[in-house]
Structure 1
Amino acid sequence: MIIDYNFFGLEQGCVWDTPVCTDLLDELQMNEGVYDEAFIELDTSIEPHTNKPTKWTLTTIMDAKFTSDLDAGSISAEGFDITKLMLYRSVYGTGDWDAIGEFKYDEEFNLYDFVDRYVQNGSTYQYAIVPVANEVIGDKLISDSIDVSYEGIFLTDKKENKRLEYDISLGEISYNTSSNTSQPLNSPYPIVTFGNSNYRSSSLTVLPLSKETVSLSGSSIDKLAEQINRQDWMEFLNNSRAKVLRMDSGVLMLVVTKNARVTHKEGETLRDLASISFDYVEIGKINYDMLIKNDLISRAFLTHMTYDDEGDIISVDN
């Protein structure tokens, strides 16, 4: 018997004339029936149909799939509790999944907020969360497809995401390979052998302006703010950390930067502005192993959310 449940939002859906309050119930008991799935959702605006749900959302409470066992679709995990969550990403339609994040599971929080900055402009991705208990890996909870669109050129590491905005100059890009030429004594032609090297290198120039100078709309230059901003850029470029270079043209590269240099503008009125140039070298593909090796895995921000009776978020506690 179901008490105080309004089927499909119909006005006359309760079993009893006086509904029983269900605000604080934390247990569901199902008897004398044949069930293949039990789905409970906070959102009360569902459409009037009996199609089975295909995914979890932020307002899903439970989706128990009965698969000839007593676990209802949960991870049995040989008695172990969930210890961490793995985050995977796939280019939509390929079916190939790459790990991009790993987070320790904390039962005190119900929302993990993660920003993926290592994405290619114009691509479409899907993400998946996978619970891990000891060595037991759970099923993927797959997201909707997400289209990536941004403008500009960015240089990003684990802690900073800098945009190159003004007076950008893209240097000549070299596609570097290694080879060796030898001249046999008994042949008129040389023998050329090639190694496995295949990487890109180039240089970039940008005029980084401070927020203070930009806010002046060209009327003047904040000299101190410009000096502080340049110093911040130089420390970023010289921090010996790997970075991801991404452009709205679709370029996505794992690089290191070197040979950073400052060139001040000429003229009395512009001498407090300076361009920054640097070289970069591609050091590998952007995959989980390389992100781990170069300490580029960002952490998730954990929050706690609660909901009202309609399933809307009413509080977020950091």
Structure 2
Amino acid sequence: MFLMNYNFMYDKNTIDPAPAYIPMASGLQLTNAIYDHLNVSGDGNMAYSETIPDSWDVNTIMNTDFHGNVNAGNVDYSTQDLAGIRIKRRIKGTFAWITLYDIALESSSGLALTKYDLTNQHGITYEYAFVPYLNTNVECAYIIKELESKCDGVFVCSPGSIVKFYGGLSYGNGSMANKTGVFEPLGSKYPIVVANADTQYYSGSLSATALTFNQLMNDKFDRVTNSSYLKLLTEFLTDHTTKLIKDWNGNLWLVAVTDGVQVKYNNSVGMGVGDVSFNFVEIGSAQDQETLEKSGFINIMFTPMTNTIPDYPPRPLNPVDSNTGSNEEYLSKIEFNINPMDGDLVINNSEWLQNMMFYIDPETLDLVFESEDDIEDISFSIDTNGNIFLNVS
């Protein structure tokens, strides 16, 4: 057979080299030619033909026509029976899934998508599932990814927008509704408490300084931009749509804003910054599928504007004036905390203050500082843009 090749002089390929036995092939390389079509099949018994197959079957391994690309996969073939994609989420360790998106699939290009989850809760580890389903509504295998949710600040979300609050944050006194009636029958020492409804909801208030994303990221103050943002913010809070409030403490409320939105302007910076405050009441569970659907938080159309690069670079953390020998630190970067064990003041993110000791003089009630460094004076100043500086000399 090796003398007459593998087909005993049967056709025009009789003088072709005998094919080598390849137990495992992991790749294919094409070089030094112009190719019109490539088809690789796993069917070793297929009948010989000069016509190259141009469609997929169950035995096809690769198939490409080189029309502008070298894609040889079977996405189109594999998705021809798919009706859509569902994106689901559940808390790790639980069973019930919440469907966040149900997307109809018109072509294989629909598999490349980016979607956002606004209803996630801080400190929770979630499992997200990418679930294709067929025209018969039968779901295929779940592709699951585990993620830990983190929030830095307080966020107020609607189905199409999200606002971040970071400075001047404060929650007012909250209350949990518990509607009961007290009946005092004659001849009884104690009353009878009646609760005829399951009414139980949280209500509270929130106040914070209104700053745009660029100001939060770069500490650059712009009066006109911030005034426009403050107007849009108050319109956003009073548009009568359901809101979702979540924060870095793990709180998560599905709410409606009640009453008006109050604005308190900061006179020290020429009224260019305002603190907003508003009341809210809980109207449903942020963990319930039906409630999220009615509130519009399922299949949301959301594209965050904060994905864009800020217009200006962040300012340096610690600019140094080499002429005067003084050091300026931005006060917004310094953290002040109280040690719960001994009540001492703890200062972080400050090269100068964290090495000092502060106390109140019992006679003069003045604030006194002591430091091992050669420091003569500490003062605070504010520039024309509203930035507050700590000056150490």
Q: Normalising by the residue count of structure 2, what TM-score does the alignment of the two structures yield?
A: 0.56
Letter in 1 for 2:241: R
Inter-CA distance 108–240: structure 2 relative to 1 (3 Å threshold): same
Question: Structure 1 residues 38 and 292, CA, compared in 2 at 3 Å: closer, same or farther?
Answer: farther
- Specify whether residues 81 and 38 from structure 1 end up closer, same or farther in structure 2 by C-alpha distance, changes over 3 A only: closer
Contact 2:204-2:279 within 8 A present in 1 as well: yes
8 Å contact 1:264–1:273 — kept in the other structure?
A: yes
Contact 1:182-1:191 at 8 Å conserved across structures? yes
Which is further off, 132-141 or 120-129?
Answer: 132-141
- Compute the displacement of 1:85 (Å): 2.0
Q: Percent identity?
A: 23
Distance 1:88 1:25, change over 3 A: farther
CA distance in 1, matches of 2:239, 2:255: 13
* Counterpart for residue 204 of structure 1: 206
User: Which structure carries more strand by proportion?
Assistant: 1
* Contact kept? 1:4, 1:21, Cα under 8 Å: no
Letter in structure 1 aligned against 2:124: S
Give, in angstroms, the shift of residue 205 of structure 1. 0.5
Shift of the 245–211 alpha-carbon distance from structure 1 to 2, 3 Å rule, reads: closer
- Which segment drifts farther, 150-159 or 131-140? 131-140
Residues 239-318 of structure 1 aligned to structure 2 (within 5 Å): 239-259=239-259, 260-267=261-268, 269-286=269-286, 287-299=288-300
Q: Distance in 2 between the 1:150 and 1:281 partners?
A: 22
Q: Which residue of 2 aligns with 1:154?
A: 155
Equivalent AA in structure 2 for residue 271 of structure 1: M
SS in 1 for 2:159: coil
Pick which of 137-146 and 196-205 moved more: 137-146
Report the equivalent of 2:168: 167
- Cα distance per residue 1:238-269 (max 9 Å; x no partner): 111112111111112211122311112245x4
Q: Deviations over 1:180-205 (max 9, x none)?
A: 11222343321112221121111010
Asked whether the equivalents of residues 42 and 59 of structure 2 are also in contact (C-alpha less than 8 Å), the reply is no
Q: Distance in 1 between matches of 2:91 and 2:61?
A: 31
Cross-structure match for 1:309: none
Shift of 1:175: 1.6
CA shift, 1:211, in A, is 5.7
Q: Which residue identity does 1:193 align to in structure 2?
A: V
Q: 2:59, 2:283 → 1: CA distance? A: 49
Could you say what secondary structure the match of 2:291 adopts? Answer: helix
Matched position secondary structure for 1:277: strand
Note if contact 1:103-1:300 (Cα within 8 Å) is conserved in structure 2.
no
- CA-to-partner distance for each residue in 1:89-117, whole Å, 9 max, x for gaps? 12122233221211121215231211112
Runs of 5+ consecutive residues of structure 1 not aligned to the other structure? 42-58, 64-70, 302-318
SS of the residue 1:178 aligns to: coil
Conserved? CA contact 2:207–2:276, under 8 Å: yes
Partner in structure 2 of residue 238 of structure 1:
238
Which amino acid in 1 is paired with 2:289?
Y
Work out the CA distance in 1 between the residues paired with 2:22 and 2:295. Answer: 55
In 2: Cα distance, 1:3 partner to 1:227 partner: 76
Residue 130 of structure 1 contacts residue 137 of structure 1 at CA under 8 Å; is this kept in 2? no
CA distance in 2, matches of 1:28, 1:121: 50
Query: How many residues of Structure 1 are paired with residues of Structure 2 in the alignment?
Result: 260
Distance 1:24 1:148 in 2: 47
CA distance in 1, matches of 2:277, 2:72: 50
RMSD: 4.1
The unaligned stretches of length 5 or more in structure 2 are 1-18, 46-57, 63-70, 303-393
C-alpha distance in 1 between matches for 2:254 and 2:240: 13
Distance 1:25 1:193, change over 3 A: farther
SS of the aligned residue for 2:82 comes to: coil
1:148-205 CA deviation, whole Å, 9 max, x = no partner?
A: 2231111111111110021111222212221111222343321112221121111010
Quick one: distance in 2 between partners of 1:216 and 1:292?
37
Match of 1:67 in 2: none
- Greater radius of gyration (CA): 2
Aligned 8 A contact 1:38 1:62 in 2:
no
Match of 2:87 in 1: 87
Task: Give 3-state SS (helix, strand or coil) of 1:167's partner.
Answer: coil
Structure 2 vs 1, CA of residues 291 and 28 (structure 1 numbering), >3 Å: closer, same or farther? Answer: farther
Report if aligned partners of 2:83, 2:137 keep a CA contact under 8 Å in 1.
no
Q: How does 1:86-235 map to 2 (within 5 A)?
A: 86-107=86-107, 109=109, 110-194=111-195, 195-210=197-212, 217=219, 222-235=222-235
Q: Is the 8 A contact 1:103 1:299 kept in 2?
A: no
Q: Distance in 2 between matches of 1:3 and 1:252?
A: 63
How far did 1:22 drift? 9.3
Q: Secondary structure at the match of 1:224?
A: helix
| Greater relative CO (CA pairs within 8 A, separation 6+) | 1
Secondary structure at 1:112 match in 2: coil
Indicate if the aligned counterparts of 1:291 and 1:297 stay in contact, CA closer than 8 A.
Answer: yes
Q: Is the 8 A contact 1:86 1:99 kept in 2?
A: yes
Taking structure 1 as the reference length, the TM-score comes to 0.67
Q: CA deviation at 1:271?
A: 2.5
**Counterpart Cα distance in 1 of 2:128 and 2:154:** 24
User: How many angstroms apart in 2 are the aligned matches of 1:181 and 1:2?
Assistant: 93
